[in-house]
A and B are shown apart, each in its own frame.
Chain A
């Protein structure tokens, strides 16, 4: 392949990644600033403006840019506030599963032996479970809630981070400086942690991005079923569930929040793909 074309293609890849990064950043900002951006209170209905279509349709008004629902709540404001739930759960799940998985990976890889056996086995079991079913059962019994949801989804995510960090520790463990430190009776762990952190950071970020997209989709599915975010909190999944009842009269109620999910997850995945190409060519499929 001529080098100019390769450069061009790399640029193209980066352009998509840049696009993903910008969109994800916008969603994050929207989630943070939701109360200031949203034109209306997302929970406040207006019975005189029920099921209004979006502004570009006949009978649409600038009052409700993306229409209103069966109680007259503003869809645009609800979607903006919905970003909060998705982002909180998504980021929370990735942080928690990354932290727990990473620490356990460090522990298992460094100590080896029985500890490692047990941890690895636990990771294998977790991955062998059909997780969505267990998550639904757990959430159905615990009741909806952002904390419960984050914990349950993190439970599914930790083995991926565990495996990544563990394999890196196994490589690092046999290096000369570790042996030297151990021979001197010093604890090699602090050096290893900084060394491993540097080696694994790129792959870790790619993995975290991929898991973020999955966590957001899982949150939406569970909220759609009524087992995710509590009903009084605006969330895209539960908006779609309500919207489905009105699919023959008010399509925007289900279409708009779904599009919000699609654009976010697409951007997260584009960012992940771009990161993978640029940071970690080994992972390229």
Chain B
């Protein structure tokens, strides 16, 4: 990996983040409706003077370029302002909610790989068999399903009908472990509390399965096609003629090489799970960043909305940045 490549890609990243910040700023300032008037208009006995005072306090009376300067310097220094609805620092709220989204994203990715990889391998090894076609058919169904609806149907089956799994929140209130990392499962283990660990896993199950199955379809497709490609290679034939066990050929020789495209898929998945978190967290009342954003929009909490959107977008572009770098390490032929 050349220095020039990393540098070029890094400059692109910085520009992209700047463009995101400008876009978010512009959208918030240029959409019709005065946020302060909208927000305070719902309260009783608010006068025009009160609104002006609040505008001044928020710096909204300043010219746009001054506001923009403050906005950017706030982002750089990490001073994200105060949430209008809760009167708490936005940074604190983001800190509080971020681990929930992270934990769900990790679990969803685990589920999608645990399902998608074996399914893709089976479909490739038994190409064009009934199993292959059935798997690809189910996959096709999965790609056409609105995932928020799938989540509700899982709630209907596993929570309402069978009563096996909880349908909302991260953990039972009484079982909440003391916060160390913010990841419920890890914190429960650190506290040595098996009951809360199990409860946290149970709460994770439905949202992680909903998000994970949606992506396992994509993963199975990619694994299948790259396995088919690898299985046609000469070294697989060599391995076969050496008399190696078939299982070993498939899982050691072929799968390892077929996994390279998985890095891109994993990166894409993490990115789309972050954006998808907005819908998914609403379905399961999951207290993460996505839910925070939706609540912020409902409550016209502009400082909160702008920081949450920027954080989600920046994480998204950072992931694709690292995927690109990682990919060029693995496969030196890739250059931009």
Contacts and interface: CB of A to CB of B under 8 A. Distances in A.
A130 B293 CA distance: 14
A240 B149 contact: yes
Contacts of B165: none
A129 interface: yes
A142 interface: yes
A202 to B, nearest CB: 22
A228 to B, nearest CB: 11
Given A128-B317, A130-B271, A247-B155, A269 B144 contact: yes
A150 interface: no
A255 B156 contact: yes
A268 B320 CA distance: 30
Contact of A262 (B146, B155, B294): B146
Interface in B22-61: 23-24, 27-28, 31-33
B148 A240 contact: yes
22 contacts: A128-B320, A129-B23, A129-B313, A129-B316, A130-B274, A132-B279, A133-B274, A133-B278, A137-B293, A137-B297, A137-B309, A140-B297, A220-B146, A225-B279, A225-B282, A226-B298, A240-B149, A248-B160, A262-B144, A262-B145, A265-B146, A285-B225
B306 to A, nearest CB: 9
Interface of A: 125, 128-134, 136-138, 140-142, 213, 217, 220-221, 224-227, 237, 240, 243-244, 247-248, 251, 254-255, 258, 261-262, 265-266, 268-270, 273, 285
A171 B282 CA distance: 47
Most buried by B among A128, A129, A137, A244: A137
B31 A136 contact: no
B214 to A, nearest CB: 11
Interface in B231-280: 271-272, 274-276, 278-279
Contacts of A262: 141, 144-146, 149
A251 B279 contact: no
Nearest to B15: A125
B28 A266 contact: no
A256 to B, nearest CB: 11
Question: How would you classify the secondary structure of chain A's contact residues: helix, strand, loop or mixed?
Answer: helix
Nearest to B157: A251
Given A129-B313, A130-B271, A254 B144 contact: no
A3 B221 CA distance: 26
Contacts of A137: 24, 27, 293, 297, 305, 309
Contact of A254 (B23, B156, B309, B320): B156
B233 to A, nearest CB: 19
Interface of B: 16, 19-20, 23-24, 27-28, 31-33, 140-141, 143-146, 148-149, 152-153, 155-156, 160, 221, 225, 271-272, 274-276, 278-279, 282-283, 293-294, 297-298, 305, 309, 312-313, 316-317, 320
B146 A258 contact: yes
Contact of A261 (B146, B275, B279): B146
Contacts of A268: 144
What 6 A-B pairs are tightest by C-beta distance, nearest first? A140-B297, A258-B149, A266-B144, A130-B316, A130-B275, A132-B275
Contacts of B23: 129, 134
Nearest to B317: A128
Nearest to A5: B128
Most buried by A among B143, B146, B283: B146
Nearest to A259: B149
Nearest to B31: A141
A131 B278 CA distance: 12
A244 B275 contact: no
B283 A133 contact: no
Contacts of B149: 220, 240, 254, 258, 261-262
A136 B152 CA distance: 21
Given A225-B278, A261-B149, A136 B297 contact: yes
Given A130-B271, A133-B275, A251-B156, A141 B146 contact: no
Contacts of B31: 138, 141-142
Contacts of B32: 142
B309 A134 contact: yes
Contacts of A136: 278, 293-294, 297
